[in-house]
Amino acid sequence: MKQAKVLSDAELKRLLAVVDAGRHGSRNRLAVMLSHLVGLRVGEIAALKVGDLIDGEGKIRDQILLKASYTKGNQARTVFVSRKLRKEVERFLAAETMAKDPAAPLLMTQKWTAFSPNTLCQLFGSLYGKAGIDGATSHSGRRGFITKLAHSGVSAKVIMTLAGHRHLTTTQRYIEVHDEMLRAAVEVV
């Protein structure tokens, strides 16, 4: 099975330009950034509730607790909110009128219902298609997140934990390697 494409910085920029210019730009941008900045799966993004990201006082949480029911492996895990993600959430909150109920879905369809993982997957496919990025799927952000961590020298155990993988071999399959990386690696010696 072919793996999802890891986007270059230029491709991510092009994708975000398409997202920002389209309908539901702030919602779609947050969905994309939850994938690219913290490596969430579409099922995890679709499962997020307002209270998972926003506390009772309207402040953005420092951590997102992904309940076991949200995750593929049925194992709860904590996702840390980076400065970049915090800015994206602030941008979303400034642009969106959303439910104050902590149990309400964070991201809503145009019919004001929760996304299913399948409909969110279709949305990602549509956005990548409009941006002209071949080979990208709803898993591209997750692969890109894991690849960037690996190439930044983050330990394999930390990456595995952030990704919610039980086995290092699973995490290793996500890491993309290309000629420029190989060339830079041999120059270290």
pLDDT, averaged per 10 consecutive residues of the chain (189 residues), comes to: 87 97 95 96 96 92 94 90 95 80 91 94 97 95 90 86 80 74 79
Contact 66, 76 (CB under 8 A): yes
Cβ(15)–Cβ(135) under 8 Å?
no
The rounded distance, in Å, linking the Cα atoms of 7 and 98 is 30
pLDDT at 1: 59
State which amino acid sits at residue 184.
A
pLDDT, position 13 = 97
Structure tokens at 175: 């890491």
Confidence at residue 180, expressed as pLDDT on a 0 to 100 scale: 76
Residue from 75, 70, 63, 50 nearest 117 by CA: 70
Confirm if 171 and 159 have CB atoms less than 8 A apart.
Answer: yes
- DSSP E strand stretches across the chain: 63-66, 77-80
Supply the pLDDT for residue 178. 72
pTM of the model: 0.88
Q: Is 105 helix (H, G, I), strand (E, B) or coil?
A: strand
CA–CA gap between residue 52 and residue 70 (Å, rounded): 11
pLDDT at 171: 72
Residue 36: predicted pLDDT = 96
**9-141 placed in CATH 3.90.78.10:** no
